[in-house]
Chains A and B, each alone.
Chain A
Amino acid sequence: MNEYFSAIREGQIDAIIGSDPESTVLHIEAMKLHEENKRVAEVLARSNAKLKELDKAKSEFLSTASHELRTPLTIIKEYVGLLHDGIAGPVTSDQKECLESALQNCNRLANLINDILDLQRLDSGRQRIRRKKVDVAALLGDCHHDFLSRCQTKYQRLELQISEDLPPVLCDPGMVTQVLVNLVGNSHKFTPEGGAIMLRGYIQDTVGQYITFQVEDSGVGIGEEDQECIFDKFTQLNRQPGPGAKGTGLGLAIVKNIVELHGGEISLKSSPGEGSTFSFTIPVYSEARELTTFVEDCLSAATAAGRELSVTLVKLDTTGQADSGHDPPDEVDHLREIEQCVRQTLRRKNDETLIVESEKMLVIVAETDEAGAESVRRRVEQSIANEFGATIAVALAGGMVCADDSIEDWMQKMKGQFLRLRPETVAKRVLIVDDEEQVLELISQALESSSLNLKIELANEGYKACLRFEGFEPHLVILDINMPGFDGEEVLRQIKSNPRWGATKVMVISGTPEKFRKMAELGADDCLAKPFDLKALVDMVANLLQDSKGTTLAAERELVKS
C-alpha cells in the first residue's frame, strides 16, 4: 500500500479504474494527498520567489543608502580636513585637536559603511571568492610583519609560531588576511601595554584536512555570557578598549562569515582577565578540492548575478602519441596554450579557467548562453594540437545543472554530454575562396569525394570570406589571389593580422605563380599553381591539415626547385 501511495505522489499513477470499493476509496484518498502536495509545493515556490525578491530589494536599498551616505560624509570629511591641514587658514592647537576628533569620527562612520557593505556582499553571496593554493607561513608572516611596529608602540610582544612542513591551504588570500588583521587588531586593542599576542599555525585534526590559525592574547578577556553573541552583528561588548577608535561591531560577524565561506570553523576560548584565544580552520589544499570549489563558486556567482553559465571540460588524450617518433609533448604545457587561446574569447570578469594537472584537464567556466558555449568549444577544438586527441564536454548550468547539485551530481549529468574528439574523427573546416564558381565547384567536389573528413564552405568574393572567419573558424583557407576588389592578398593580410586566426592554415592558388613569394612572405602556408592536378590539391590539403605545426613552407620549397 505504501508503494501505491508513493507511486501516486510521484505522479506515476494518474488514475486507476477498478471495481473493488476499497481500492476506489484508497484511490480517492491518494488523489487528495496528491492534490495537497501540489498545493503545498506551489505555496512554497511562491514564497520562495517572494523571499528572493525581498532579498534583492534589501541589497539594492543598502547599496543606494550607502551611496547617499558616502557623498555627504565625503564632503564633511574634506572640509574638516582642509581646516585641519591649515589650507583654509591658520588654526590654533586647541582647534586642531577638535578637528582631529571630528576626522576620527568621520573615519569611523566610513568604516561602518564599508563593513555594512562587506557583510551585505558576503550575506548575499555576491562576494566573489577567489581561492588558490596559499602558503600558511606567508599568510601569517605578512600579518606579523604588518602589526609588528604597531604592537611595539604599546610595548606588546607579537610572536609567530608555525609548525614545520605545513601543507598549503586552499583559500582566498585577501579574505583570510582580512580575518587575521581583524583578529590581531582586536587583540592589539584589548591587550594592555606590555602584554603579549601570539600568532600560530598548526594542524590539529588527526586526518590533517584542516590547518588551524590561532590568535592568542593576554588581554582583558571575554565573559562567558558575552562569548555566545560575540560573532553576531552589531555586538559591542562592554570591554575597555583603551585609547583608539571604537569598532563597528561588525568585524567578527564578517570574520565568521569569511571562515564559513571557506568551509572552516571559528571558535573562542576566553575568561575575563585571562586573555582570549580565537582559533579558525581553513582546509588544506588539494587539487580535487580546488576543482570542486572552483565550479561551485562560479555557479553561485552566476546564480547571484542571474546569468547563464556554461562549463566546458577539456581532457587531453595522449594515447597513440608514442608511435609518432617525437618526444612526447607536455600535456600541461599544451593545456596552458589552449587556456591562453580560449582566454581571448572570454569577455566577462567572472569567466574563469582552471587546469587540473593530475587529471590533464582544463575547466572553462563562462557566463554565456548556448551560442557562447559553442564558440568556446570551437575555439578549444581549433587550438588542440594534432598530437593530441581530447574529450570535450559542454554543459549549460541553469538548464541541466543547478547550483545546489554537488560536484558529483554535476559531473554525472555532464557525462551524457561528453563528446569524443579525436584528430581523425573531427571534421576539419575548410573555406574555399575563388571568384570563379567553376573553380569553387571543382575543388569542393574533389575534397568531398576524398577520404578526408571535411566540412566545406565556399566564398566567391574576398570580403565575404573575411565575414565567414568569425562564424566558421576554418582550419584551412584555400585562397585564390586574383579576385576583383578585395583580393587574395588582402584576405591573407586580414587572417594574419588577427591573432585569433594564428592557427589557421592558408593555401594560395593562382594562375600567376610570380605572386607566390610575396604571399609566402605574408604568411601563406602553401601554394599551388593553376591549372592544378586535383589529386595534388587533395594531398596538399591533407598534408596541411595533418601537419598543423609544420613550419617549413612548401611554397618556398617549390620556388627553390623552379
Chain B
Amino acid sequence: MAKGKILVVDDEPDIVKTISMRLKSSGYDVVTAMDGIQAVEVVMKERPDLIVLDIRMPGRDGHGVAARLRDSTETAFTPIIFLTASTTESDYQTAVGAGASKYVTKPFEPEELVAAVEQLLQSGHKRYAL
C-alpha cells in the first residue's frame, strides 16, 4: 500500500527520474509531468496528494502552475514543494506568496526532500490560500 501519490514536475528529465526513484524507494506512488501545462492536466486527472514542482520551466512556470491550482477549490490545498536552483530572495518571496508549503534549493539533500514530503503529508499541512 503506497503512502501517498506524488506528482513530480521538472523540465529536466533526469531530475524527474532521480526524484521519482528516490520517492518510490521511500514507498510513494509517483506520477510525473515535464512542463507546467502537462502538470495541471495530470493534477486534474490523478489528484496527487502532494506536488514537487520546479519553478523555472519554459511555458507555464512553477508560479503559474501554483496560481492555477490555487484558483480551483479542489486543488487549492494540495501541498506544493517548490524545487529550484535559484536562491534569490525574490523567487523565494514569490513562491511563498503563491502558497508554497516548502521550498527546497537544488542541489538538495535527498533526505531533506523525503523528510519534507513525509512531514507535509503526515501533518495534513494545508497550503494557505491567499
Query: Which of A29-37, A67-75, A268-276, A317-325 forms part of the interface with chain B?
Result: A67-75
**Distance in angstroms between the alpha carbons of A71 and B54 in the assembled complex:** 11
A-side interface residues, number (CB < 8 Å): 22
A74: contacting residue among B15, B21, B56, B88, CB under 8 A: B15
Q: How many angstroms between the C-alpha atoms of A77 and B56 in the bound complex?
A: 20
Is A56 on the interface with B (CB-CB < 8 A)?
A: no
**A290 and B63 alpha carbons, distance in the complex (Å):** 37
A349 an interface residue at 8 Å Cβ cutoff? Answer: yes
Pair count A-B, CB < 8 A: 54
Q: Are B18 and A71 in contact (CB under 8 A)?
A: no
- List CB contacts (< 8 Å) of B2-26 with chain A: 12, 14-15, 18-19, 21-22, 25
- Quote the shortest CB–CB distance from B128 to chain A (angstroms): 17
Residues of B within 8 A of A82 (CB): 18, 21-22
B22 touches A79 (CB 8 A): no
Q: A117-B87, A349-B89, A349-B93 are in contact. Are A79 and B107 (CB under 8 A)?
A: no
Does A110 have its Cβ within 8 Å of any Cβ on chain B? yes
A70 engages B22 (CB within 8 Å): no
Expressed in whole angstroms, the Cα–Cα distance for A71 and B22 within the complex equals 17
Which residues of B37-82 are within 8 A (CB) of A? 56
**B125 interface hit (Cβ, 8 Å):** no
Q: Report the separation of the CA atoms of residues A128 and B25 in the bound assembly, to the nearest whole angstrom.
A: 40
Is the CB–CB distance between A63 and B107 below 8 Å? no
A81 touches B85 (CB 8 A): no
Closest to B56 in A: A67
Give the residue among A63, A74, A106, A110 with the most B Cβ atoms within 10 A: A74
| CB of B119 closer than 8 Å to a CB of A | no
- In the complex the two chains form, is A70's CB within 8 Å of B107's CB? yes
Q: How far is the CA of A128 from the CA of B14 in the complex (A)?
A: 35
Min CB–CB distance A64 → chain B (angstroms): 10
Near B by CB (< 8 A), chain A positions 48-71 give 63, 66-67, 70-71
Partner of A70, one of B19, B89, B106: B106
Query: Known: A67-B86, A117-B87, A128-B89. Contact between A77 and B21, CB under 8 A?
Result: no
CA A436 to CA B77, docked complex, whole Å: 48
Query: 1/0 contact trace for B98-112 toward A, CB 8 Å?
Result: 000000001110100
Interface residues on B, range: 10 to 19
Given A70-B107, A106-B107, decide whether A75 and B15 contact each other with a Cβ distance below 8 A. yes
- Given the complex of chains A and B, what is the CA–CA distance between A74 and B86 in angstroms? 12
Interface pair B14/A67, CB less than 8 Å apart: no
Alpha-carbon separation in the docked complex, A306 to B18 (Å): 40
A87 at the interface (CB under 8 A from B): yes
Chain B residues with Cβ under 8 A from A110's Cβ? 107
Q: Find out whether the CB atom of B12 lies under 8 angstroms from the CB atom of A78.
A: no
Q: Smallest distance from the beta carbon of A89 to chain B beta carbons, Å?
A: 11
| Contact of A402 with B by CB under 8 A | no
In the complex, A73 Cα to B106 Cα: how many Å? 8
Contact assessment for A78 and B22 in the assembled complex, using a CB-CB cutoff below 8 Å:
yes
Q: How far is the CA of A117 from the CA of B105 in the complex (A)?
A: 13
Across the interface, name the chain A residue whose C-beta is closest to B13.
A75
Q: How far is the CA of A315 from the CA of B106 in the complex (A)?
A: 47
Q: Within the complex, what minimum Cβ distance (angstroms) separates A73 from chain B?
A: 5
A229 located at the interface, meaning its Cβ lies under 8 Å from any Cβ of chain B in the complex: no
B22 partner residues in chain A, CB cutoff 8 A: 78, 81-82, 87
Query: Does A288 reach chain B (CB closer than 8 Å)?
Result: no
* A340: min CB distance to chain B, Å: 20
Decide: A75 and B12 in contact? CB cutoff 8 A.
yes
Q: Which residues of B contact A77 (CB under 8 A)?
A: 107
Q: Bound complex: CA of A558 vs CA of B49, how far in Å?
A: 57
Interface residues of A in 75-119 (CB under 8 A from B): 75, 77-79, 81-82, 85, 87-88, 106, 110, 114, 117
Inter-chain contact A87/B107, CB cutoff 8 Å: no
Residue ID in chain B nearest A86 by CB atoms: B25
Knowing that A74-B106, A349-B89 touch, tell me 13 more A-B residue pairs with CB under 8 angstroms: A66-B87, A67-B86, A70-B85, A70-B106, A71-B106, A73-B107, A74-B108, A75-B14, A78-B14, A78-B18, A81-B18, A85-B110, A114-B87
Could you list 10 examples of A-B contacts with CB < 8 Å? Answer: A63-B88, A71-B12, A74-B15, A78-B14, A78-B22, A79-B14, A85-B25, A88-B21, A106-B107, A128-B89
Please give the residue numbers on chain A whose beta carbons come within 8 Å of chain B beta carbons, in ascending order. Answer: 63, 66-67, 70-71, 73-75, 77-79, 81-82, 85, 87-88, 106, 110, 114, 117, 128, 349
